[in-house]
Amino acid sequence: MTDTKPVIAFIGLGLMGAPMAGHLQAAGYEMHLHSRSRGKAEGLIAAGGFWHDDPMAAAASADIVITMVGLPIDVETLYLAPGGLLDRAKPGALLIDMTTSSPALAVRVAEAAAAKGLTVLDAPVSGGVGGAANAKLSIMVGGTAEGFARALPVFEKMGTNIQHQGGPGAGQHTKMVNQTVIAGTILGVAEGLAYAKAAGLDCDRVMQSIATGAAGSVQLNIMGNLMLKGDFAPGFMITHFVKDMSLALAEGTERGLDLKALKVALAQFQTLVDAGLEREGTQALSKAYG
């Protein structure tokens, strides 16, 4: 580690947060860690990370604070509650929320931070557990150009496609676009494979034909093959996708859009949640088709 590297606090060490923090630690950053369960941090602690029982304690001496938590209410509480991050962060700190959350909330947080002399970026990611593990995430960033430039060396340790989308909230809006596209695509994959089975086709041979054609995509080539294998281990949990689709639908409706495919996909995934499958991967959508 060199003296020029900022100290980083990472709050939220779930399936994606832990490997993301691990890449930063491997790059020589001093890491201060907090998660709801200390067990998720044990590997990072063993490698030299500093554990804190309280997220505010983790953030107090950090130059950069990264949060990756579950829901918008978690983000709101962390940042805006009395005694939260905006009250406890080091003067001049850069705060980066990588949770998929509400664009409107991202704007509120950024405005409240600026009033305190702090900079906040909204920087949700796409790529799932595999992208996090391999430092190949797509990172969509909203906030000031100055904040983006300051964060870029850190982002480069976690992702390969890093784009500044605009002002506060723009990163979250871009993630809503991403999730809307995925929703329609994975719905088509599940329905297409259901058709292939109903027609008595060899589904593996069908995949060989269509995977390199116009239908080819990550959702088809990866999730489609997992559907055929019956492998429903989560790269991205249904419960999180339902949250994301709900956010995207609300944002679209507010803007006068009737996002029909998104509505259908959300309804289909909700049937899986109702069946107790919310912690399976999104490829378990195939179960909705028998």
Q: What is the pLDDT of residues 3-55, one digit of tens each?
A: 589 999 999 999 999 999 999 999 999 999 999 999 999 999 999 999 999 99
For range 124-134, the mean pLDDT:
94
Does 154 lie in the same domain as 18?
A: yes
Residue 83's Cβ-side half-sphere holds a number of Cα atoms within 13 Å equal to: 4
Q: Which residue type occupies 133? A: A
Does 69 lie in the same domain as 87?
A: yes
- pTM equals 0.94
- At 156, which CATH number? 3.40.50.720
Catalytic residues: 175
In 85-193 the beta strands, taken as DSSP E runs, fall at 94-97, 119-122, 125-126, 137-142, 159-166
Is 1 part of a structural domain of the chain? no
Does 194 lie in the same domain as 150?
A: no
Does 145 lie in the same domain as 187?
A: no
Query: For the chain, what is the domain count?
Result: 2
Q: Which helix (H) or strand (E) holds 47?
A: none
Please give the DSSP secondary-structure letter assigned to residue 55: H
Alpha-carbon separation of residue 288 from 63, 222, 282 (angstroms): 46, 18, 11
Alpha-carbon separation of residue 248 from 145, 181, 232 (angstroms): 25, 11, 24
Quick check: 84 and 43 in contact, CB under 8 A?
no
Does 152 lie in the same domain as 189?
A: no
Does 1 have pLDDT greater than 70?
A: no
Q: Which helix (H) or strand (E) holds 131?
A: helix 128-133
Q: How far apart are CA 228 and CA 204, in angstroms?
A: 8
> 15: closest CA among 137, 102, 114?
137
- At 204, which CATH number? 1.10.1040.10
